[in-house]
Amino acid sequence: MSSIDGTIKKRRKALFSWFSRNESDLLAHRQAPWLDVSEFPGHQDAQEQNNRQPDPNRQRARHAATFGAAVPPVSQHEEQREPEARQDASEGEGDKVLHESHYRPQRRPHGLNTDIPVTTSPARRGRFWVVTLMAAIAIAGTFSLGRWQLSRAAQKEAIQAEIDEQKNLEPLDQAAFMALDNASSSALHRPVRLRGLWLAPHTVYLDNRQMHGIPGFYVLTPFAIEGSNQTVMVQRGWIQRNFNDRAQLQPVVTPPGLVEVVGTISPPPSHLLDLGKAEPGAPMPGGAGSSPIRQNLDLEAYRADTGLPLRTDISLQQTGEASEGLQRDWPAPALGVEKHYGYAFQWFGLSTLVLILYVWFQFIAPYRRARLARRG
């Protein structure tokens, strides 16, 4: 019995030393800051043991008695310690891998995702710079064209302001009009007052002229200036066209003798697109031999046909109330200011569109694709 008791005491002492050493290592491992999620239950058991405040002497005897009855000899247990420890470590790593999928990673703060991969292949970089260069050229070109259209509109507005200013000046007298140089355009659109005679036999009717949207004729009659050897073509007014018979003209009263004419100095009559030869009318008196109805009027050719000392650089546009069967609601000069503003809007809109497409396809769309790829 004494030998058996001695053997049991030795085994208990060996087991107690082994258990104490492994328990201290386990507690030290559980208190590490890199504690794994799978070890939480063990840590909870350790805390429960600490809260119970066990009696070391009583537990030592109880543990020794228990292990003495259930555990094999110390030599056999020492041989199995190392394989079991390796197995426990492998199970711990497996638990860690299994439990990691159940815990969501911490979200990154809002803002740009710096983990998005950036493609740095030479082909993509080259394509990016080619597209950037083409977009820059398109944006700069369309923007410049828009500014050019705005400058053209500003020029036309300046011309319109000059015309309005000229119309508000005092009318030129006859002597000042006679002194005007043929090459001078500074007196255009300025009022003038003249005295002279109408040369009614040389009246011309310009076809396809509209007033208030109604087709008709402009009536032009040469005017011989009193006390001079000069003749100026006067645009007297407008008459409506006879739709049943184009050659039948409405009567126009031409006062005989010396008359006073008030009008504005204007360029020669405007030319329209001539689609064909005008129908012949009655021959003009005075041996001119041509029709009074014309599509356009070339003052140089008319001067050669009639032999009149006619000024070919300017004409006179009669103003005043409707009289003599003629209407004088002359249309304002068509400078096309609104057209230039419309073209400028189109060019600026195209420039903005190119800029938006460039930013979208070069920056926003790749960023969205990369973000969706990371989520997937």
The rounded radius of gyration (Å) of the Cα atoms in the chain is 55
Residue type present at position 209: R
Q: What is the mean pLDDT of each run of 10 residues along the chain (376 residues)?
A: 64 65 52 44 49 49 43 45 53 48 48 48 87 97 98 95 91 90 77 96 94 94 94 96 88 93 93 62 45 91 94 93 91 88 98 97 92 86
Rounded to the nearest 10°, the torsion over CA 203, 261, 156, 211 is: -50
Torsion-angle region of 182 (φ positive above 0: left; ψ -120 to 50: alpha; else: beta): alpha
pLDDT for 23 equals 54
The SS3 call for residue 9 is helix
Cα separation of the two ends of the chain: 74
What Å distances lie between residue 109 and 100, 112, 113, 254, CA to CA?
22, 9, 9, 92
Place of tokens 């903005």: 352
Query: In the structure encoding, which two tokens stand for residue 304, read together?
Result: 């050669």
Where in the chain are the domains?
Answer: 2-100, 123-169+333-376, 190-247+254-271+282-318
The SS3 call for residue 294 is strand
- Of the candidates 54, 26, 24, the one whose C-alpha atom is nearest the C-alpha of residue 39 is 26
Q: Is the distance from CB of 287 to CB of 202 less than 8 angstroms?
A: no
pLDDT for 70 equals 41
Per-residue burial over 202-240, b = 16 or more CB atoms within 10 Å of its CB, e = otherwise:
bbbbbbbbebeeeebbbbbbbbbbeeeebbbbbbbbbbe
pLDDT for 266 equals 93
pLDDT for 311 equals 93
pLDDT for 358 equals 97
